[in-house]
Chains A and B, each alone.
Chain A
Amino acid sequence: MGRLIRDMILPRLDRGRLGLLPDSVVLSDIRGPIAYTTDSFVVSPIFFPGGNIGSLAVHGTCNDLACSGARPMFLSLAMILEEGFPLEKLETILQSVADAADAAGVEVVTGDTKVVPKGSADGVFINTSGIGRLEAREIPSAARIAEGDEILVSGPVGNHGMSVMLSRADFSFDFDLESDSASVWPAVERLLELGPGLKFVRDPTRGGLAATLNEIAAMTGKEVLIEETAVPLDKAVIAASEMLGIDPLQAANEGKIVAVVEKGLGERGLELLRDCPIAHGAALIGKITPGTRPRVIMNTRIGGARVVAEPSGELLPRIC
């Protein structure tokens, strides 16, 4: 175990603190309130187009911090390895952790590694917890959402979920499609310029855009209205979703945000995101309406309207 840490982990992740291997790390350089979060990663398959469990574990936790208006700063990294997990795969994962952390501007400052007998875990599980410095003057919260507020999404949706689905063993289609896994802090940071005009931020991970919008409706008790033609989708995602019979609005994202901004500030929000590298294709997709029921309605491409329901169940391909 000592060798694993010395030879594989520290050379990749030590940025000055980790190598001292203290029982716990002392962080004295944060001023003001912090945000603190944790998440566990058990993705299958472990490697997918555009990333792996390592990059995902960094981005997932950083993005939870970012959505609270906090700049991600420090991470812990705990790995549970199944006995016999190939070292070269572990090296690739650790390198992805390092690259993702560097790109996100966070430092892995403490960690843990355990090996469990074969069959007790599926390859590798990772938990990360994160600390971020609160930079939002008013913490984004659903409680501040009001009628007329506008809804932005930071780019095309469904790429992560769809590419993971496609990389699962039983599919052999070749789509030019990658996970969007990335830290969303640069997008959140730009939107903080809106001050109190930024009401709510969420990363639409599991359950995709549909789950996040339904969450907004449920938390506010208000109706959410979106336009099908305004929701950005990559062509490969549309093609894959038609093949598999899976609604791209229900497919997970790992590098996108949904933001609710004050009425009239939607266009300004888009301008702020314009030069942000992780927010290409950002769009204004809808608004909070005076509807009587907490639900999500979508005006369809053809001019009809339908409910966007809360996703549930295992995603499976259709039969005919």
Chain B
Amino acid sequence: MNPEYEPLTARALAGEIKDLCASVTQTVRFMEVCGTHTMAIHSAGLKSFFPENLKLVSGPGCPVCVTEKRFIDHAILLARHYDACLITFGDLVRVPGTFGSLATLRAEGGRVRVVYSPIQAVEIALEEAPRPAVLLGVGFETTVPTVAATLMSALRKNVDNLFVLSAFKTIHPPLRILAAKEDLHGFLLPGHVSAIIGSDCYSYLPADFGKPGVVAGFEPLDILLAIRDLIRLTVEGFPQIVNDYTRVVRANGNPAARGVTEEVLEPSDASWRGLGVIPGSGLTLKGPYYRFDAAAHLPVEVPQAEDDPRCKCAAILTGSLTPDKCGLFGRGCTPEDPVGPCMVSSEGTCAAYYKYGAA
């Protein structure tokens, strides 16, 4: 679209959103599941378009935010006990664990390599050999296929010092839990994850919970369009799944990418910050790829980790609380000196509120 017309289209959509909201008396609450949506909404100032009775709350779709403190502890213990080199995405570096963050580990002389793509892991493992190289496996269905493909290549090359510490997660199990919450009326569904898993797979939202879901892209207009459709479906009382991101997301997603994942990993239980253990919501290495499992082959004793009781990340991740209602927000907890992961991750809800303001 010609950028000159964007504000006009935005105003038209905002007008429709306002009219639709005016036709209901209740407050309508939608959850944007994905952290990239949270950031895009704040960055474009979209909330300034919304009427009073439309609320958007952020969900558990930021991989760093839902990763438990104990995972960071586990990684640091691996580095200490096995002199392992940790390979990680940048967002994880400053997340505080019980005994410091990966940044602290690095400052103390530990080896922490930041990568943009997991494909670099094989190369790094070869450079670091014979020292073990542990890829910190954090992410959703979007990230996993690349890691799986990396491990397929590592297996072919017989790289024996590369490991993955898996905290991978899948989106359906927590979404089912959130869909049951009475105060959430619909879901802005993640664009990137849906590119892999498709839009058809969300059919349980209307079928089992009577709630609509709209798959959205990440441009401001994509999001406004999706929100208009969510409200229309809500007001009309006709819940269904709509795909507003057809230029990227197909009904059946990307079967090839899912095939790679299924070749290397299988579902397992996973522990989510804020949601606890959710059966079948994680992914574990299987078959010949089990040899890359850091938890299995580099054993360490990882104690239970206590979260700071004042930190409200758990409530924020489930849409029960907005960051500005947390007593630590902006005072005891800032991006420079974060307490909880929602403030660390560039896609965390608290970071978005802090960076772009609560408005």
Q: Mark A151-180, 1 if CB is under 8 A from B, else 0.
A: 000000000000000000011000000000
Per DSSP, chain B at the interface is helix
* A317 CB contacts on chain B under 8 angstroms: 89-91, 114, 116
> Cβ of A295: which chain B residues have Cβ within 8 Å of it?
357
- Give Cα distance in the complex from A171 to B192, angstroms: 23
Does B97 sit within 8 A of A, measured CB to CB? Answer: no
Determine if A319 and B44 form an interchain contact, defined as CB atoms under 8 angstroms apart.
no
List residues of A (234-248) whose CB comes within 8 Å of B's CBs: 245, 247
Asked whether B48 lies within 8 Å of A307 as measured between CB atoms, the reply is no
Q: Which of B336-359 contact A (CB under 8 A)?
A: 336, 345-347, 354-357, 359
**For the complex, is B220 an interface residue (Cβ under 8 Å from A)?**
yes
Scan residues 317-339 of chain B and give those whose CB is less than 8 A from a CB of chain A. Answer: 334-336
Given A306-B42, A306-B357, A307-B356, A316–B11 Cβ distance below 8 Å? no
A147 and B47 alpha carbons, distance in the complex (Å): 27
In the complex formed, the residue of B with least CB distance to A299 is B45
Least CB distance, A165 to chain B, in whole angstroms: 11
Determine the main DSSP class of A at the interface with B.
Answer: loop
Does A292 have its Cβ within 8 Å of any Cβ on chain B?
no
Closest to B14 in A: A303
Q: Is the CB of B357 within 8 A of A304?
A: no
Please pick, from A304, A306, A313, A319, the residue contacting B139 in the complex, using a CB distance under 8 A.
A319
The interface size bin for chain A is 20 to 34
- Give the residues in chain A near B63, CB-CB below 8 Å: 319-320
- On whether the beta carbons of B89 and A304 are closer than 8 Å, the reply is no
Contact of A309 among B14, B143, B354 (CB under 8 A): B354
Specify the chain A residue showing the minimal Cβ separation from B334.
A312
| A300→B92 contact, CB < 8 A | no
- Least CB separation from A250: chain B residue: B355
Q: Are A171 and B10 also in contact (CB < 8 A) when A304-B220, A306-B42, A306-B45 are?
A: no
List A contacts of B354 (CB < 8 A): 309
- Nearest chain A residue, comparing its CB with the CB of B224: A302
Given contacts A170-B113, A319-B64, A319-B138, contact A303 B11 (CB under 8 A): yes
Please report the C-alpha to C-alpha distance between residue A242 and residue B45 in the assembled complex, in whole angstroms.
17
Assess whether B220 is in contact with A300, with CB atoms less than 8 Å apart.
Answer: yes
Nearest chain-B residue to A298 (Cβ)?
B45
| B228 at interface by CB-CB < 8 Å | no
Query: Would A312 and B357 count as touching, CB distance under 8 A?
Result: no
Q: State whether the Cβ of A314 lies closer than 8 Å to any Cβ in chain B.
A: yes
B114, A316: Cβ atoms closer than 8 Å? yes
Q: Is B264 an interface residue (CB 8 A)?
A: no
Interface residue from B7, B42, B346, B359 paired with A318 (Cβ < 8 Å): B346
Asked if A305 is at the interface (CB within 8 A of a chain B CB), the reply is yes
Tell me whether A3 is interfacial, beta carbon within 8 Å: no
Evaluate contact between B221 and A302: CB separation under 8 angstroms: yes
The listed residue (A307, A308, A319) touching B90 by CB distance below 8 A is A319
Is A137 interfacial (CB-CB < 8 Å)?
A: no
Q: Is the CB of A301 within 8 A of B44?
A: yes
> Which residues of A from 269 to 290 have beta carbons under 8 Å from B?
none
Q: Residues of B contacting A313 with CB < 8 Å?
A: 94, 334-336
Interface residues of B (CB under 8 A from A): 3, 6-7, 10-11, 14, 35-36, 39, 42-49, 63-64, 89-94, 103, 113-116, 138-140, 142-143, 192, 220-221, 224, 334-336, 345-347, 354-357, 359
Q: List 8 A-B contacts (CB under 8 A).
A: A302-B7, A303-B10, A306-B47, A306-B357, A316-B94, A319-B139, A319-B346, A320-B347
Given known contacts A301-B44, A306-B356, what 12 new A-B pairs fall within 8 Å (CB)? Answer: A247-B43, A302-B45, A304-B44, A306-B359, A307-B357, A308-B356, A317-B89, A317-B114, A318-B90, A318-B347, A319-B90, A319-B138
